């Protein structure tokens, strides 16, 4: 990141925090929630998407939302590295989607490592599940409540545990 981008990012984060505070502390109808989240992410939230408050993000501008998504209360999206949520996804309460990590070496610890998170079509992220940087959740996959997905989750599977492991294949 060059200095100019860092300044812009800092400004956008400050703006995002003000919008999130308004979103999470005031009473809003569903269309107002979509409007505020649209301002946070810098693109229109489809009318078919439902977001329950409280909703949290660190940056906001790197979140891409598809159609007919349901995001339950207290979801946190750490999105500087990018988060894409495709159509028909369900996200349970208290889930974390994290696209940012820090370097392991102590002298580089404050440097960021950005890796996108992708939630493919019709996936279901359970309550308090955590999706770590660089992970793709495959189409129709389920991440069980409380699971930590540290690796890609194949399509049509259910994962559970810490770290998440496949416990079932989904059949039509």
Residues 6, 18, 43, 102: which is the catalytic one? 102
Token couple for 75: 């979801």
| Phi and psi at residue 38, to the nearest 5° | -60, -40
Is 102 designated active site?
Answer: yes
The CA-CA-CA angle for residues 16, 21, 27, to 5°, reads 125
Category of 146 on φ-ψ map: left (φ > 0), alpha (ψ -120 to 50) or beta: left
Separation of alpha carbons 105 and 98, rounded Å: 20
Where helices occur in 26-153 by DSSP H, the ranges are: 30-41
**Residue in 130, 134, 133, 118 with CA at minimum distance from that of residue 159:** 130
The CA-CA-CA angle for residues 158, 129, 160, to 5°, reads 30
- Catalytic residue positions, numbered: 102
């Amino acid at each position: 990141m060059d200095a100019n981008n860092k300044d812009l990012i800092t400004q956008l984060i400050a703006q995002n925090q003000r919008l999130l505070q308004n979103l999470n502390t005031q009473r809003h109808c569903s269309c107002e929630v979509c409007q505020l989240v649209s301002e946070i992410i810098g693109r229109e939230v489809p009318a078919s998407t439902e977001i329950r408050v409280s909703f949290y993000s660190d940056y906001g501008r790197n979140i891409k939302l598809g159609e007919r998504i349901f995001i339950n209360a207290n979801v946190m999206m750490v999105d500087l590295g990018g988060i894409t949520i495709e159509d028909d996804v369900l996200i349970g309460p208290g889930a974390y989607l994290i696209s940012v990590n820090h370097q392991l070496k102590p002298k580089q610890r404050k440097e960021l490592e950005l890796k996108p998170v992708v939630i493919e079509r019709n996936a279901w992220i359970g309550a308090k599940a955590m999706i770590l940087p660089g992970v793709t959740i495959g189409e129709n996959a389920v991440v069980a409540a409380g699971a930590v997905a540290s690796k890609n989750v194949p399509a049509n599977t259910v994962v559970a545990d810490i770290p998440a492991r496949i416990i079932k294949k989904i059949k039509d």
